[in-house]
Each structure stands twice: as structure tokens, then as C-alpha cells.
């Protein structure tokens, strides 16, 4: 589990495609404190560490993950939002994030508003109903508050601090963004569906 509070900006150092995709990510984390098999959210995708170096770790990305996320767009040099798994006793500053990306949203506009940047994104139709004004979403692993929702499009506001400590400073119209809907919204929708169509007992 994660919180959507980014604690490092990594960089893609190398990509190998042979069946699955293997990625080496440079990091400022103390890799001596990371174990093989640990989970690191990388642009919001929970990935398992399979190799370690003094300032990098490697992950293996399945074809399914490439298909459901923006990881297929990654190139060498790309900056990546990183968050290590939540530990008992850690401050929960964002919201509960699983690292299981639900789909990919597209940035349709980016408009400066004072010192902030107002983004409008288009979610996949199947996920639009899970996004609510003033609710939470995880976008490229970052816990953000939804400003408004119009159909499948929704808006967020990026303050300068967020753009400085994440890779949101690189955002551009047309970017594909990993989207994880709020866990609470997912279970509320499932409960409502069950109430309408109870499963046979």
C-alpha cells in the first residue's frame, strides 16, 4: 500500500524488451535499505524490485502491466515519480493507494492559473463514474484532489510545490497518465451493484 505522496523522482536509466519489459531506474533512495522483492510505486504502478545497485533498482514489467498503464511510453531519461511501500506508523498524508492502475487518462489542457497549473484530463469512459468532485485520485502515483467533473473529463490543480517535488513539472497536453481511482469509490460502486443485482446464494 502507498499514500500517493511522492518521496523521490527517479529516472529511467535503461529499458530491455524481451518478452516482459525490464527497467533500470536511478533513485536517490538508499538502496541498501531496499530488499529484492520489495514494492516501489513507479509513476503509480506497484512494481517488484528484482535487482539492485548503489543508486538504482530494476523491475520486471509484465505485458499486462504495459497494456494497462503508460509504462510502454517510457524512454531512457524519463523522470519517474517514486514512493516506497507504506510502513506501519508512517504518516498517511495523501490517501490509500494500492499501486494497481485502473486505466490511462489523457491530459487535454494545461492552463496557468496564478502560480498554479490547472489541468483537465479525460478518463476512460468505464472509470469516469468513479471520479467525484473533491474526491481523491492517484495520477502517476500522486494523490490529488479533483476540482470538477464533466462527463469523462475532470480537472485538478497543481501547486508549485507539487510540480517541484514530482515529475508533474514535465507535464504536457497529450500526455498519457496512470489513473487509479479511489479505493472507497470502488467499493461503494461494487456494493451498489450488488444491491441492484444480488448474486445467487
Q: Quick: pLDDT tens for 15-51.
A: 999 878 999 999 999 999 999 999 999 999 999 999 9
Same domain, 132 and 177: yes
pLDDT given at position 98: 84
Domain count for the chain? 2
Q: Quick: pLDDT tens for 77-86.
A: 999 999 998 7
Q: Are 47 and 22 in contact (CB under 8 A)?
A: no
User: Burial of 37 by CB count in 10 Å (0-12 exposed, 13-18 middle, 19+ buried)?
Assistant: exposed
Same domain, 110 and 170: yes
Measured in whole angstroms, how far is the alpha carbon of residue 173 from the centre of its chain? 17
Same domain, 80 and 108: no
Residues sharing a CB contact under 8 Å with residue 168, sequence separation 6 or more, in sequence order:
117, 140, 142, 158, 162
Which residue's C-alpha cell is 490509500?
96
Output the CA–CA distances (angstroms, integers) from residue 176 to 83, 145, 169, 173, in the order listed.
Answer: 20, 18, 15, 9
Residues sharing a CB contact under 8 Å with residue 138, sequence separation 6 or more, in sequence order:
4, 44, 94, 95, 97, 144, 178, 179, 180
- Is 130 inside a domain boundary? yes
Q: Which domain-ending residue is among 84, 119, 151? A: 84
- Is 96 inside a domain boundary? no
Q: Give kind and range of the element (H or E) at residue 41.
A: strand 39-42
Domain that holds residue 117: 103-191
pLDDT given at position 200: 59
pLDDT given at position 187: 57
pLDDT given at position 143: 95
Integer-rounded Cα radius of gyration of the chain = 17
Same domain, 77 and 108: no
- Is 160 inside a domain boundary? yes
| CATH code of 115's domain | 2.40.30.20
Indicate the pTM of the whole model: 0.89
pLDDT given at position 90: 64
Same domain, 46 and 110: no
Could you tell me what percentage of the chain is helix, strand and coil, using 3-state DSSP and rounding each to the nearest 5? 20, 45, 35
Same domain, 69 and 131: no
For the chain, 201 residues long, give each residue's pLDDT as a single digit of tens: 788 899 999 999 999 998 789 999 999 999 999 999 999 999 999 999 999 999 999 999 999 999 999 999 999 999 999 999 877 666 666 677 888 999 999 999 999 999 999 999 999 999 998 999 999 999 999 999 999 999 999 999 999 999 999 999 999 999 999 999 987 666 566 566 666 766 655
Amino acid at each position: 500500500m502507498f499514500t500517493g505522496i511522492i518521496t523521490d523522482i527517479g529516472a529511467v536509466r535503461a529499458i530491455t524488451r524481451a518478452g516482459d519489459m525490464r527497467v533500470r531506474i536511478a533513485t536517490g533512495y538508499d538502496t541498501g535499505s531496499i530488499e529484492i522483492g520489495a514494492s516501489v510505486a513507479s509513476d503509480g504502478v506497484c512494481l517488484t524490485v528484482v535487482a539492485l545497485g548503489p543508486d538504482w533498482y530494476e523491475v520486471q514489467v509484465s505485458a499486462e502491466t504495459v497494456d494497462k498503464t503508460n509504462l510502454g511510453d517510457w524512454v531512457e531519461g524519463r523522470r519517474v515519480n517514486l514512493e516506497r511501500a507504506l510502513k506501519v506508523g508512517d504518516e498517511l498524508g495523501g490517501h490509500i493507494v494500492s499501486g494497481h492502475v485502473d486505466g490511462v487518462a489523457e491530459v487535454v489542457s494545461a492552463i496557468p492559473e496564478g502560480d498554479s497549473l490547472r489541468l483537465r484530463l479525460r478518463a476512460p469512459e468505464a472509470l469516469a463514474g468513479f471520479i467525484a468532485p473533491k474526491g481523491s485520485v492517484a495520477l502517476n502515483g500522486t494523490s490529488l484532489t479533483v476540482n470538477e467533473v464533466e462527463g469523462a473529463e475532470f480537472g485538478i490543480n497543481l501547486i508549485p510545490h507539487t510540480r517541484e517535488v514530482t515529475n508533474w513539472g514535465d507535464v504536457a497536453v497529450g500526455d498519457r497518465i496512470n489513473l487509479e481511482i479511489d479505493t472507497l469509490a470502488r467499493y461503494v460502486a461494487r456494493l451498489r451493484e450488488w444491491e441492484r443485482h444480488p448474486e445467487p446464494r
